Amino acid sequence: MRHTLFKNLENAFWSFVSLDHYQDQHLHAYSSSVTAVPGFNLLYLHHGATLEAFEKALAWYQEKGQDTLIVCEKDDASALIAAQKERLHLVEEAPTTAMILDLQTWKPLTNRAQNYLIEEVQAPLDDWSNPLSTAFSDGESELSELDLEVTKQHQAAHEMALTKGAPIHHFVMKVAGIPVCNLSLTLTEDGARFDDIGTDIPQQGKGYATTLIQHALLFAKEQGATIAVLESSNEGLSIYQKLGFETLFEYEAFVWEHQS
């Protein structure tokens, strides 16, 4: 049941922010308007996916001239990938963790952030996207032209989704009038999903992300959501665990490049 809720929310979010969507019984593929990197063309392989269905999805990307980021649980789907890794020249990417929170039993932490303002913003999403560029960078150097272009394209994808009535809420935290932290919250009948959580590098470690997430969790609960989910990198796990999120399962990821 919890797996199904997670996958439903996952599909809802990526369908909203993508240009095109292809699905089979055990996979979902998304074609993004973010062209600067392949990581937004997501191909999710689920339990029970077959090699035939997988290759049809890759052919769909090949027809579009797009690379894709293949994401699968550590089960028979990842075994399928492992068997094809060398043949398809797949490049392994960092793993992520699917996490879930029961909002009915959740207890907020004491906020340690001070002197901030949290706003829900509408298009144009400039304030929301400003801290997000940090999340797309390596965190060890100044923002590159690629980081900024990815952010610009991802912002445009979200603005496109809003014009279509997508139930995505965009929150930003400001300190002294400057955006320092952001997130997006998708609300459906299945619950709430968090994405695009980013804090400007100089402002990290001050409790801003925790405070903003808790604000959005309370908002989601007020709207009737009973569960919240997100997909975390290894670096973000400790923050979400402190908030009460629990591991649901682990994802593996691989980049596939189309043939020119």
How confident is the model at residue 142, as a pLDDT? 62
Residues 237, 146, single domain; the answer is: yes
95 in Cβ contact with 240 (< 8 Å)? no
| Site of tokens 């999403």 | 125
Question: CA 225, CA 214: separation in Å to the nearest integer?
Answer: 14
Domain annotation covers residue 245: yes
Q: 53 is in which domain, residue-wise?
A: 2-95+250-256
Structure tokens at 114: 């001070």
pLDDT in tens, 74-130: 887 888 999 999 999 999 999 999 999 999 999 999 888 888 999 999 999 999 999
Domain annotation covers residue 104: no
114 in Cβ contact with 82 (< 8 Å)? no
Domain annotation covers residue 162: yes
pLDDT level of residue 18 (50, 70, 90 thresholds): very high
Burial profile 100-135: b = 16 or more Cβ within 10 angstroms, e = fewer? bbebeebeeeeeebeebebeebeeebebbbbbbbbb
pLDDT in tens, 169-194: 999 999 999 999 999 999 999 999 99
Helix (H, G, I), strand (E, B) or coil at 41: coil
Residues 18, 138, single domain; the answer is: no
pLDDT level of residue 148 (50, 70, 90 thresholds): confident
Residues 124, 233, single domain; the answer is: yes
Residues 122, 216, single domain; the answer is: yes
